[in-house]
Chains A and B, each alone.
Chain A
Amino acid sequence: MNHGTTKDLCRVVSTFVPKTGHHTTVESSATLQHHSDVVQDTASVHLEFTDNDSFRKIDALFGCSNPVICHAGNSTSPPRERLFKKTAPSISGKEDLHLLLQQETNTMAALLSNQVAALLLLLCYIGPSAAVLFSSLPQTLRVTASPSPGQVLHAGVDEITVTWALNQSLPAGTDSGYKKVKVTLCYAPVSQTDRGWRKTDDHLKKDKTCQFKMATRPYAATGTVTYTVERSIPTATFFVRAYVLDASDTEVAYGQSTDPKKTTNLFDIAGITGRHASLDIAAACFSAFSIGALAFFFVIEKRKAKK
């Protein structure tokens, strides 16, 4: 993994050529720069416009094949330039970066005549990046779970009702990519200590905190699921977390029923023991049979030796 190296991965020069009339020289050059460090990769495309007016009309869409948070535009960039930045968490994998530049023409076509759409397709490898880091996910949902703090639920018997709602103080359009909500049951830190198989890892693919899926629902700004605790859930302390997935089933946001340090609103689940009376009896019988067989043979030995 590179630390802070910058390299020009690809250089695309394209010229927008207007279909009709006005000469518009729009030179755009896109230099894709890859800056990667341990946490994230940044790909930026710098467009320079020789024509002031066309600059105003350019509407650039930044699209990614593996949807993560894309920040489009930078209002502080100098005039006639647009800097588009994409930030992606860098883990193993490759990503196709599609840069879609679309010219928007308006009916007036004052500057950029009509429908000229230049499509710049940039396919660049950003390097090792594709998987999602938990620290990169925004907490946009408010999640509440029905168990009260410290309540003990019984596996196979009790139910958990989870309600989620989109945080209303966020700007509109935050949930434009949201497709599904996956509600999961997650281990609290007290159930993770000294248990490496439940470890929390920032890379979601390696993370073992939330091992039980309660439900998956299509995305709605608010929702509720009711879940009966399955008999395979072990005895431990839990909280509830809901991941928001996009169209390609990648996590894009989350919400959880506890605080960021995972100390409040935790509840317990008492798992089934798996023991049955019949097992106890069978174990006792077989044990007795083994000892009995031994005693039997000892007695026979003694008798044989006596003869």
Chain B
Amino acid sequence: MGDSGKSSLQVEPSDEQATRFKMPVDSEQKATEFWLFSFAAPHMQAFHLSWFSFFCCFVSTFAAPPLLPLIRDNLNLTTTDIGNAGIASVSGAVFARLAMGTACDLVGPRLASASLILLTTPAVYCTSVINSASSYLLVRFFTGFSLASFVSTQFWMSSMFSPPKVGVANGIAGGWGNLGGGATQLIMPLVYELIHHIGGTRFTAWRIAFFIPGLMQTLSAIAVLALGQDLPNGNYRKLEKAGDKHKDSFGKVFYHAVTNYRAWILALTYGYCFGVELTIDNIVAEYFYDKFNVNLRTAGMIAASFGLANIVSRPGGGFLSDWISTGYGMRGRLWSLWVVQSIGGVLCIVLGLMHNLSAAIAVMLLFSFFVQAACGFTFGVVPFVSRRSLGLVSGMTGGGGNVGAVITQLIFFTGSRYSKETGITLMGVMILCCTLPISLIYFPQWGGMFCGPRADATAEDYYAAEWSDEEREKGYHSPSVKFAENSLREGGRRRRPSPTVPVEATPTHV
């Protein structure tokens, strides 16, 4: 995997700390390599626990759409009811993602994600007892909260993996989680057919089927609690008690997140890659069914293939983000994000103009790769926006994704103002417009799309600026300092200094 862990830039931990871990680590004990098929504790174990539990959340949130032909007859739903529930399913997570970000900053990703998942699981089980349009909307709304576990996934990966690998770790964890939205279009009809075959009536079989995603969620959350660990060194509570980790205050974390304009820009642009992905998850089956007269099963398979592209597309985005940063640093990450997301926008415009089935499927698959890769690229940038408020910034970005989904569905896909194909084309235009603000992101120490870095700016200054002087005196900011050191590569090839910086000493101002 390219530049393998022990580059001269990564600050070496002391021998004693290094030998505790199977994997090579940096000064923050974050893994500097990514071994996909390993379960090495705590890094790779955290990876597998987090992506799988997030996958289960996606399966539950989008478990209803493939079974809608049954549910809508059982509950006597109208198209309006279905549309409203679809919007509700993604809107709950807008605020839940913000709350999740804060919770991660305060209590750690393990407790935050497991609590969220276990608290939303009753909504999944209760889907089997609903009997009206309003109860349908409520269960989809509350189940959708579980999508906030995305934030804990990203946060956890950013805590466990060193900057050179954080993009690929975030990308695969996010992508394989989003996969659940596609897998569920295959899983739920299969489970339903099985139960129906064994002997349930139609209207009972779909209800029983919902126990599968519910169980998956419960068991994965318990695994996270039993086996997971917040940080390489241990869990938040233990570390805080021992004095190894400072317990931060909500107000400060909140302030440093909302005053960072980069967080807002990324929230907007993420709304037009991930938000678009969620919108397409909700409408694409119906689109192909109506426009091309394929049958429901074929439409479902086409819908599933859109989500299934996530196996490689989003991780690909993360991987490419990391790879580009080896040569071009943060500026490369920003440029590639803008290019990939804009191409996604162009393909979206083209998709709405396709009148031939095979052409439409081909364009849709290309489109899925680019839009999902853009999600991966986005989270190659997010870990660097803030260190103190990483969780909340991740939450804002993630929440922005859901806001984009809500807005897009409201403007283009509710009511009959636009035909679906016009809506898709216009959505593509909106993607192009809302991707332009990436050019406004500027890191003083690394530069932006159009401007180079300031000569006297350093990563340490940027991250240390999140702490007040008294806090700095008490040493609360030391994780930020270590992070800054490990981010030297984001300056690109030309900015790398040759001497390594010793671990213990606080680096002098360059």
Are B203 and A272 touching (Cβ within 8 A)? yes
Q: Which residue on chain B has the smallest CB distance to residue A282?
A: B211
Say how far A271's CB is from chain B's closest CB, in angstroms.
Answer: 7
In the complex, which residues 67-119 of chain B have their Cβ closer than 8 Å to any Cβ of chain A? 69, 72-74, 76-80, 111, 114-115, 118-119
The one of A194, A273, A279, A293 that contacts B79, using a Cβ cutoff of 8 Å: A194
Asked if A305 and B76 make an inter-chain contact with CB atoms under 8 angstroms apart, the answer reads no
- Complex alpha-carbon distance, A305 and B230, angstroms: 14
B508 within 8 A of A: no
Contact of B78 among A195, A271, A275, A283 (CB under 8 A): A195
Q: Tell me, yes or no, whether B354 is within 8 Å of chain A by CB.
A: no
Report yes or no: B69 in contact with A297, Cβ–Cβ below 8 A. Answer: no
A231→B70 CA distance, assembly (Å): 13
Residues of A close to B214: CB separation below 8 A:
286
Q: Closest B-chain residue to A280, C-beta based?
A: B129
Asked if A305 and B126 sit within 8 Å, CB to CB, the answer is: no
A274 within 8 A of partner (CB)? yes
Binds B, one of A59-67, A167-175, A232-240: A232-240
CB atoms of A232 and B122 under 8 A apart? no
B384 to chain A, nearest CB (A): 31
B218 with A234: CB separation less than 8 A: no
- Picked from A194, A236, A274, A284, the residue with its CB within 8 Å of the CB of B207 is A274
Q: Which residues of B contact A273 (CB under 8 A)?
A: 74, 131, 203
**CA–CA, A294 to B225, complex, Å?**
8
Chain A residues closer than 8 Å to B119, beta-carbon distance: 290-291, 294
Residues of B within 8 A of A297 (CB): 114, 222, 225-226
| Residue A196, interface by CB 8 Å | yes
Chain A interface residue count, Cβ-Cβ cutoff 8 angstroms: 32
Q: Mark A223-254, 1 if CB is under 8 A from B, else 0.
A: 00000000110111000000000000000000
Contact, CB under 8 Å: B203 / A286: no
Q: Is A3 close to B, CB under 8 A?
A: no
CB distance from B117 to the nearest CB of A (A): 9
Question: Given the interface contacts A294-B114, A294-B119, does A193 sit within 8 Å of B203 by beta carbon?
Answer: no
Nearest CB of B to A7, in Å:
27
Q: Which residues does chain A contribute within 8 Å of B72, judged by CB atoms? A: 195, 197
SS of B interface (majority): helix
Instruction: Please tell me which one of the listed residues A196, A234, A290, A305 contacts residue B121 in the complex, with CB atoms under 8 A apart.
Output: A290
Q: Please determine whether A272 and B201 come into contact, CB atoms closer than 8 angstroms.
A: yes
Contacts of B225 in A (CB 8 A): 293-294, 297
Whether the pair A290, B218 counts as a contact (CB closer than 8 A) is: yes
Residue contact B74 to A283, C-beta cutoff 8 Å? no
B78 near A194: Cβ-Cβ < 8 Å: yes
Q: Residue B438 at the A interface, CB < 8 A?
A: no
Q: Check: A301 CB closer than 8 A to any chain B CB.
A: yes
Judging by beta carbons under 8 Å apart, are A286 and B215 in contact?
A: yes
Interface residue? B412 (CB, 8 A) = no
Q: Is B241 part of the contact surface with A, judged by Cβ < 8 Å?
A: yes
| Residues of B close to A290: CB separation below 8 A | 118-119, 121-122, 125, 217-218, 221
**Does B45 have its Cβ within 8 Å of any Cβ on chain A?**
no
Which of B201, B217, B226, B235 is within 8 Å of A274, CB to CB?
B201
B202 near A: Cβ within 8 Å? yes
Residue of B nearest to A191 (CB): B76
Q: Which chain A positions have C-beta within 8 A of B76?
A: 234-236
Distance, CA A273 to CA B71, complexed state (A): 10
B129, A279: Cβ atoms closer than 8 Å: yes
Q: Give the docked Cα–Cα distance between A271 and B73 (Å).
A: 9
Write out the residue numbers on chain B whose beta carbons fall within 8 Å of the beta carbon of A193.
78
- Tell whether, in the assembled complex, residue A279 and residue B201 are in contact, meaning their CB atoms are under 8 Å apart: no
Q: Please judge, given known A-B contacts A234-B73, A290-B218, whether A274 and B204 are in contact too, CB under 8 Å.
A: yes
A residues in contact with B290, CB < 8 Å: 196
A71 surroundings in chain B (CB, below 8 A)? none
Minimal beta-carbon separation of A205 from chain B (angstroms): 10
Whose C-beta in chain B lies nearest to the C-beta of A288?
B122
CB distance from A204 to the nearest CB of B (A): 15
Contact indicator B215/A194 (Cβ below 8 Å): no
Q: How far is the CB of A107 from chain B (nearest CB, A)?
A: 57
Shortest Cβ gap from B152 to chain A (Å) = 15
User: Does the CB pair B201–A196 fall under 8 Å?
Assistant: no
Binary A-proximity of B210-231 (CB < 8 A = 1, otherwise 0): 0100110110011001100000
Are B204 and A276 in contact, CB atoms less than 8 angstroms apart? yes
Instruction: For chain B, residues 194 to 212, give those with C-beta under 8 angstroms from any C-beta of chain A.
Output: 201-204, 206-208, 211
Q: Which residue of chain A has its CB nearest to the CB of B225? A: A297
CB of A283 within 8 A of CB of B131, answer no
- Partner of B111 from the list A194, A280, A301 (CB cut-off 8 Å) is A301
Find out whether the CB atom of A279 lies under 8 angstroms from the CB atom of B128.
yes
Bound CA–CA A273/B235 (angstroms): 47
Min CB–CB distance B64 → chain A (angstroms): 15
- Kindly report which residue of chain A lies nearest to residue B238, judged by CB atoms: A305
**Residue A304 at the B interface, CB < 8 A?**
yes
Tell me whether B115 and A294 are in contact (CB under 8 A). Answer: yes
The reply to whether B118 and A279 form a contact with Cβ atoms under 8 Å apart is no
> In the assembly, what is the distance between CA of A269 and CA of B208, in Å?
24
For residue B256, CB closer than 8 A to chain A, the reply is no
Given A194, A195, A231, A236, which contacts B201 in the complex, CB threshold below 8 Å? Answer: A231
Given contact pairs A274-B74, A274-B204, A280-B129, a sample of 14 additional A-B residue pairs in the complex whose CB atoms are under 8 Å apart: A195-B77, A197-B69, A273-B203, A276-B204, A279-B208, A283-B122, A283-B125, A290-B221, A291-B119, A293-B218, A294-B221, A297-B225, A301-B111, A301-B237
Closest 5 CB pairs of A and B: A274-B203, A287-B122, A234-B73, A194-B78, A283-B125
